């Protein structure tokens, strides 16, 4: 998948809009107006800070169901996504937690969003919701049935979960792409706010080949210059909140700081790569003169 077709850049920063509790969730506040207002505020802050895309999650609906969410959640998320599509010009994705990929695909298709995130596309993971089995066969057939072009970004060995058995990361990435038909893969740490290791990102990128690899958690302005060297893009939220606290709204200053740190690192990498042939040629000429 060519990321530039969606995000207009080879290395997108995707900011997360964490929705306030939605209808039927334990902490639902009985005000969809408040949910929409907070979502619009966060989307605006992310866009003004320079991100390349957004993803909308029902993050505060804990405890999550492990599969299908209530229809009220689907309705509320559809409404929010449509409002954000009219508010910002950025590509938008959908993640229906914990693993309702079918609803995410329906929401994204009907609102003309661009991609979805699926926590468990293939394999079996032990989570706090119980065992979650990947249903790639259902999701891919459903996408075809809808006539949808929505892309599937799939986690590999997703956070807040443990795989049954001890799968090799390289094998897990390859199977998610080759057997699950993911359009992009996501690598996270063990929990929200925990980054993947550089070594794991390098392994995942090598296994993924031409398929994009995203950092899915724990990215900050301090570590993104190092982590992005082994990834194609990043999905980020926690470090962009006021005081770095997950319950707080997005801070546009933190967003700008993050985006600038990543862009500066990528520019330095490209500049270094561009200078390598010149330096090599100069070394050869010097060696020839000395010889």
Task: For residues 221-237, give the mean pLDDT.
Answer: 96
Q: Hey, what are 233's tokens?
A: 């893009």
Q: Hey, what are 79's tokens?
A: 């409404």
256 contact partners, CB below 8 Å, separation of at least 6 = 49, 50
pTM of the model: 0.91
**pLDDT digits over 144-178, tens only?**
999 999 999 999 988 787 888 767 899 999 999 99
232 contact partners, CB below 8 Å, separation of at least 6 = 3, 10, 11, 184, 205, 212, 213, 214
Average pLDDT, the chain: 92
Task: For residues 114-142, give the mean pLDDT.
Answer: 95
If you ran DSSP here, which 8-state letter would residue 218 be given? -
The backbone region for 147, taken as left when phi is positive above 0, alpha when psi lies in -120 to 50, beta otherwise, is left
* pLDDT > 70: percent of the chain: 94
**pLDDT digits over 106-122, tens only?**
999 999 999 999 999 99
Q: Distance between CA 233 and CA 120 in Å, rounded?
A: 20
**pLDDT digits over 173-205, tens only?**
999 999 999 999 999 988 777 899 999 999 999
**Segment among 43-52, 123-132, 196-205, 252-261 with least mean pLDDT:** 123-132
Task: For residues 89-102, give the mean pLDDT.
Answer: 97
* Helices within 147-180 (DSSP H only): 169-178
Closest CA to 224 of 206, 236, 213, 212: 236
């Amino acid at each position: 998948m060519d990321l530039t077709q969606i995000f207009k850049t080879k290395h997108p920063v995707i900011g997360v809009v964490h929705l306030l509790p939605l209808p039927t969730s334990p902490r639902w506040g009985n005000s969809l107006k408040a949910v929409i207002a907070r979502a619009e505020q966060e989307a605006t802050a992310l866009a003004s800070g320079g991100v390349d895309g957004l993803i909308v999650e029902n993050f505060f609906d804990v405890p999550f169901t492990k599969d299908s969410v209530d229809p009220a959640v689907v309705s509320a998320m559809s409404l929010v996504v449509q409002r954000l599509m009219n508010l910002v010009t950025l590509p938008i994705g959908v993640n229906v937690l914990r693993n309702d990929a079918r609803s995410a695909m329906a929401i994204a298709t009907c609102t003309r969003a661009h991609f979805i995130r699926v926590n468990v596309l293939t394999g079996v993971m032990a989570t706090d919701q119980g065992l979650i089995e990947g249903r790639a066969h259902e999701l891919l057939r459903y996408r075809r049935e809808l006539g949808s072009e929505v892309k599937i970004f799939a986690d590999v060995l997703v956070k807040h979960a443990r795989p049954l058995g001890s799968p090799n990361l390289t094998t897990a990435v390859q199977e998610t792409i080759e057997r699950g038909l993911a359009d992009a893969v996501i690598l996270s740490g063990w929990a929200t706010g925990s980054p993947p290791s550089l070594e794991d990102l390098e392994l995942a990128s090598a296994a993924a080949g031409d398929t994009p690899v995203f950092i899915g958690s724990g990215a900050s302005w301090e570590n993104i210059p190092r982590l992005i060297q082994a990834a194609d893009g990043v999905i980020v939220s926690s470090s962009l909140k006021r005081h770095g606290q997950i319950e707080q709204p997005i801070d546009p200053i933190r967003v700008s700081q993050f985006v600038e740190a990543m862009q500066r690192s990528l520019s330095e990498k490209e500049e270094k790569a561009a200078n390598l042939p010149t330096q090599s040629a100069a070394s050869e000429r010097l060696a020839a003169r000395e010889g």
